[in-house]
Structure 1
Amino acid sequence: MPKIVNHEERREQIAEAMWRVILEKGMEGATVRNIAGEAGLSTGALRHYFKDQDELLVYAMRLVNERVEKRAMVILQEELPPKEKVIRVLLEIVPVDEERRAEMDVWFTFQAHIRHRKDLEGAPGHALGAAVSKLFDFLAYEGELKEELDIELEAERLYSIADGLALHAFLEPNRLRADTVETLIRDSVGRICK
């Protein structure tokens, strides 16, 4: 009897195999052959799920985004004060543990690779700015923001802080510890909230 395979689940497994190859060998090592080998598939079987390496790349990038978004949605559903929800969502973005560090490594590798590839349709860009803007909207809706804030400027400031922390936590994990990151995020959110 033929084995029943969940198509979407297999695509995720292949994307995760691509992440592992990238983490081990860099983007130049992320060949169809290496990815197929890591996924335990033949190159022909891999092509059944993705027509080419670019399609796999775009899918793998989207999957990184989706995983972060899912974790953020779980936090936003929790019974927490709005300010605490925003802090925890921002902490999900900063790579302070191995899982998030690996995601960030893969994400930066993807971004560097596609920077000059205008032909990669549908490749997700850097979504942090839009996410921070949504968090500001959430805080405003909840009545948490201080009066007379320049929302646009403060959103840009928080985005810059979160983005900078993410970059430096990734590049210098021994210097920028998780507790320091949390203190900086809490302080930044505290400055804009009542």
Structure 2
Amino acid sequence: MAIGSTIHTFTVQLADVDRGVYDDFTIRVARHPSETDAYMMTRILAYCLEYREGIEFGGGVSTTDEPAVLVKDLTGLITGWIEVGSPDAARMHSASKLAEYAAVYTHRDPAKVLASWEGKQIHRSEELVLRSFDPGFIDAAVGAIERRSDLSVSRTEGQLYVELNGTHLSSELHEHRIG
């Protein structure tokens, strides 16, 4: 945890019908002073939407050798590398070589993220998934964040439904591929 980080606690109810994952859990998020609210909210949603055994938050914006969210198997081997925002192509190239699965969740314009990767080498680029939300969705969610938050996340047929401290939001979960 970085010095000066603000701790946020989220009590989560997850119903991911598309993946058949249902669970209730609590996550503590250390928000680094340089981390924006939009980045943190995207990081939390990425964690929920990728939730599985071995998932954990990476070192965050203060470390460069880990993603925002990662998944490890029982031996400690990284099997899932989940970035947030707009990582560069070289980082995703390395991530795709290191982990069985790599994905990016962005609160930014996905066309600009894809354009920044165009013409650059990314290992197994055809398997890399870039996910984004409807415009304004993350900003609306940011407005409902508190230090202690109740969060309900439901995904069905590619549609995302979120209730955050009594605020109801929905968005399509857009998937973008390279090429």
TM-score band (shorter)? under 0.3
TM-score by length of 2: 0.25
TM-score by length of 1: 0.24
Return the index of the structure with the highest Cα Rg: 1
Q: Which has the higher strand share?
A: 2
